[in-house]
Amino acid sequence: MTTKNYIEQKIIDTLERNYMPYAMSVIVSRAIPEIDGFKPSHRKLLFTMYKMGLLTGNKTKSANVVGQTMKLNPHGDMAIYETLVRLTRGNSALLHPFIDSKGNFGKQYSRDMRYAAPRYTEVKLDKICEEVFRDIDKNTVNFIDNYDGTLKEPTLLPTTFPNILVNPNQGIAVGMASNLCSFNLQEICDATVQYIHDENLDFTKVLRAPDFSTGGQLIYNEKEITEVYNTGRGSFKVRAKYKHDKQNSCIEIYEIPYTTTSEAVIDSIINLIKDGKIKDITDVRDETDLSGLKITLDIRRSTEPDTLMNKLFKLTPLQDTFSCNFNILINGKPRVMGVREVLKEWLLFRVNCIKRQVLFDIDRKSEKLHLLLGLRKILLDIDKAIQIIRNTEQEEKVVPNLMAGFGIDQVQAEFIAEIKLRNLNKEYILNRVSEVENLQKEIEDLKGIYESDQRIKKIIIKQLNDVAKKFGQPRRTEIIHEEHIEEITHEHLIEDYNLKLFLTDHNYIKKIPLTSLRSGPEHKLKDDDFITQELETHNKADLLLFSNKFTVYKLKIYEINDCKASSLGEYLTNLLGLEEDERIIYLIATDDYKGNILFAFENGKIAKIDLMSYATKTNRKKLANAYSDLSPLVKIMALTEDLELVAFSSIDKVLIFNTANINPKSTRDSQGVQVLNSKKGSTMTKLKRLEEVGFKDLDYYRTKNIPATGCYLKEEDREEKQMMLPLED
């Protein structure tokens, strides 16, 4: 007999009980930043340093800070130290670091440069933290118990500037993530001030673009930036900065995108060199030193540096995309917001901070005023106060007797009773009481501030202007507009070189680089196959392949594989997907589709078609009706300029004419014009270039006007006669 040793549970209940609390904990308490621009781990660390007096004091060992932070942050020491490292000036991850550091803290732009152990490094809070913690002791934010209830910690930090947009932040939670880019402090403060004045502000006009601590160049696309500003989602491209050292024939890369590392860049360049995709680089070195990042590429003297860098931008992380996701916790709930919404929420938070600070000041000043008002009452009769104290037999009766004697409350009586005997003189009391009027005015002014959002916003504006003036710095990331960037297509990455194409009767095509052809010129062909056309061109040209089915196929020559003369080449039936009885009969290579193409037909007509008729805006690989099908084709010939041609008829008539007399047509399947007239049912059989015949009397066959019948071929001009060699004696 078996017994059940498990309990059946509904999967939904199990997820709700076990998984959802964990997911919410990661979202709310770990991975997603809040409106002050900090995650809990950042906040706990910085607040610990603030309580340690590191805002004004000397630096202390990082290990000391890590140990103290563990009272607020229940994580291991290395996890806390990694958080500290990212916030330091030495690491260069932030535009405005919160921690002034001494020692090796690694670098944001390096994957392998490890930071030193916490016992070797020293830290203190940077000056900008004055703005992060301003008035935190005046109840500007809520405090909660730490994890064991022994200490208090702030839920937010009362930053006087929109830190959420000034320093980058990335977090991966459960089921959601956050990725905020950084903006220039000066620009953010100016934009926030203008937004306070005008809620309908167009941020693209005042907030130029994101700015990164690692510099580089941001490729500005107005549509992309507008989408990021409006929705909080989107992406933009950042690329490296470089300079060309002509003397040493090298390129020095000194700034890279924030999203990559120098090691990743070097690895990708080395892989390109190994794969043969980049042949202009002879050496790659990481020359990063104390002065900063430097990746050096040794290049061949004939290399065009800008062209090479354009290839590297396309193929390596030297140009990278930053994907934005402005997901921020607002009152414990994650929200994806655009810049306008973020600043709106930050202003609500900041207004609340100032109101709480004003209330705190009102309370403190009211308490002081209350005490001074009681002191003013004893000014009327100091002797009476002394008499009451002297005549009171029991100590606990002093305060009640003063309360009864002067009509004051217990707090005032306690204050008076605690005054030193030496201060019970008229001068001291008059000096203290003179503060009453000023305190009353200050309290009234503070109440006016508390009740006026306009006055609170003026305070915020003043603080923003002060922060911008005190901590603002020039942009590090240069902005270059998209129209000034050469678009790098796949074709830019193709190597260009001179080559020869060979078309065979059996539908094979060979693409052989000229360098390879010189070393091995002997062709391998199938039995009874032969070469029908040779064409010298280059790798980036367009190729038109005319078939016997009145169709033209279009290819980029680089799409055809290189081969050697000793191989058969590519079988065009497979390469182009030809019909079973379809053959390629002629090739034309072109870069700009300038010139014409002649089609000569048996009926004596010749069509002169503008090559531009075969250029298409779309990447069509096949064009039907490439030439006329009304009469059998005799010859196809590419023309770059007009010349004289020789037409032969089936009855041995010959005609020499100039192609200038044939007007070009734009319709591909045009029948053309009559050139060689038919006589006794004759047809055109051949068409040759003038230099291909050895006629003795050219004018005999030449005509100025077409169409013409031509003249009978002279006996001495027959090919077989011309080819006969004289017998040796």
- What is the set of active-site residues? 120
Tokens of residue 355, six digits? 């109101």
Alpha-carbon distance of 257 to 318, in angstroms, equals 7
Angle at 516 between CA 514 and CA 518, to 5 degrees: 70
- Contact predicate 154/136, CB 8 Å: yes
Q: E strands along 130-276, which residues?
A: 143-145, 152-154, 169-172, 177-180, 217-220, 233-239, 241-245, 250-255
C-beta neighbour count of 197 within 10 angstroms = 9
Alpha-carbon distance of 357 to 361, in angstroms, equals 6
User: What is the H or E stretch that residue 272 is in?
Assistant: helix 262-274
- Contact predicate 267/286, CB 8 Å: no
By CB atoms closer than 10 A (0-12, 13-18, 19+), residue 238 is buried
**Bond before 707 cis per omega within 30 degrees:** yes
Locate all alpha helices (DSSP H) within 5-120, ordered by sequence.
11-14, 20-26, 40-51, 62-69, 77-86
Helix/strand/coil for 318: coil
By CB atoms closer than 10 A (0-12, 13-18, 19+), residue 256 is buried
Start-to-end CA span in the chain (Å): 121
C-beta neighbour count of 489 within 10 angstroms = 9
Tokens of residue 438, six digits? 């000023």
Tokens of residue 410, six digits? 């217990």
Q: Which of 619, 620, 600 is nearest to 608 (CA)?
A: 600
Query: At 80, phi and psi to the nearest 5?
Result: -70, -40
Alpha-carbon distance of 611 to 665, in angstroms, equals 10
Q: Which of 385, 373, 371 is nearest to 414 (CA)?
A: 371
Query: At 453, phi and psi to the nearest 5?
Result: -65, -30
User: Which residues face 503 on adjacent strands?
Assistant: 509, 533
CA dihedral 681, 682, 683, 686 (to 10 degrees): 180
User: Which residues face 54 on adjacent strands?
Assistant: none
Angle at 402 between CA 396 and CA 404, to 5 degrees: 105
Burial profile 578-591: b = 16 or more Cβ within 10 angstroms, e = fewer: beeebbbbbbbbbe
Burial profile 100-127: b = 16 or more Cβ within 10 angstroms, e = fewer: bbebbbbbbbbeebebeebeebbbbbbe
